[in-house]
């Protein structure tokens, strides 16, 4: 849980803390707490994107002092999502919240990359999947870790069917999700029951 992560991280006193990522994302608010814990840690922090840093995981990784990406890994950014049930006022309220959340995420990407906000907006609207080379070129990561021949964590361990533009090399041979499986996936990713 985010609480466990923050507690464990805060108990570390090493000169350098290495944090490894292979995640399709999850709850924005949980991720924000993790990002802030990494950002505020007294040790030097190094994020290693081993397989996938998608959605809020891409934000969490940027909390580190240094971001290193495996040459065969991916990073994905997109606009925040939500699920809400209710009347038109509920929908407007949720849309306003999404705009605010999107703005904070946008600021994180702009600060890390030094790209213009309009450029980042285009990337998140398009659900952009980046190879390590692309992420480095755009400034999302600081360096690329060459493949040492060790088996790396594979992003294909995740069911990425909820995303629109998944690169072919990350699409496994999975069946189409049933409504119940999709509901479970979204719930496990941090969405409320609503």
Our answer to whether residue 48 is catalytic in this structure is no
Task: Note whether 17 and 45 are within 8 A (CB).
Answer: yes
Could you confirm whether 55 is annotated as catalytic? yes
Annotated catalytic residue within 43, 55, 82, 143: 55
* DSSP for 123-188, written as a single string: HHHTTEEEEHHHHHHHTS-SEEEPP-SSPPP-GGGS--TTSS---GGG--S-PPPPHHHHHHHHHH
Give me the catalytic one of 23, 41, 58, 78. Answer: 78
Is the separation of the CB atoms in 44 and 36 below 8 Å? no
Picking from 174, 57, 159, the residue whose alpha carbon sits closest to that of residue 108 is: 57
CA 80, CA 105: separation in Å to the nearest integer?
A: 9
* Token pair in block for residue 1: 């849980």
* Residue numbers annotated as active site: 55, 78
């Amino acid at each position: 849980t985010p609480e466990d992560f923050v507690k464990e991280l805060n108990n570390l006193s090493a000169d350098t803390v290495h944090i490894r990522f292979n995640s399709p994302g999850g709850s924005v608010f949980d991720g924000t707490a993790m990002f802030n814990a990494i950002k505020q840690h007294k040790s030097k922090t190094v994020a290693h994107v081993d397989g996938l840093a998608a959605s809020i995981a891409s934000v969490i990784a940027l909390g580190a002092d240094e971001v290193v990406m495996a040459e065969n890994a991916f990073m994905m950014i997109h606009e925040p999502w939500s699920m809400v049930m209710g009347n038109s006022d509920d929908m407007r309220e949720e849309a306003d919240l999404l705009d605010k959340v999107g703005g904070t995420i946008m600021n994180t990407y702009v600060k890390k990359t030094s790209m213009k906000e309009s450029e980042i907006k285009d990337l998140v609207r398009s659900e952009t999947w980046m190879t390590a080379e692309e992420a480095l070129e755009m400034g999302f990561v600081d360096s690329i870790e060459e493949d040492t021949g060790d088996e790396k964590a594979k992003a294909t361990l995740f069911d990425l069917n909820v995303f629109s533009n998944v690169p072919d090399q990350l699409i496994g041979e999975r069946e189409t999700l049933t409504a119940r499986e999709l509901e479970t996936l979204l719930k496990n990713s941090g969405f409320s029951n609503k």
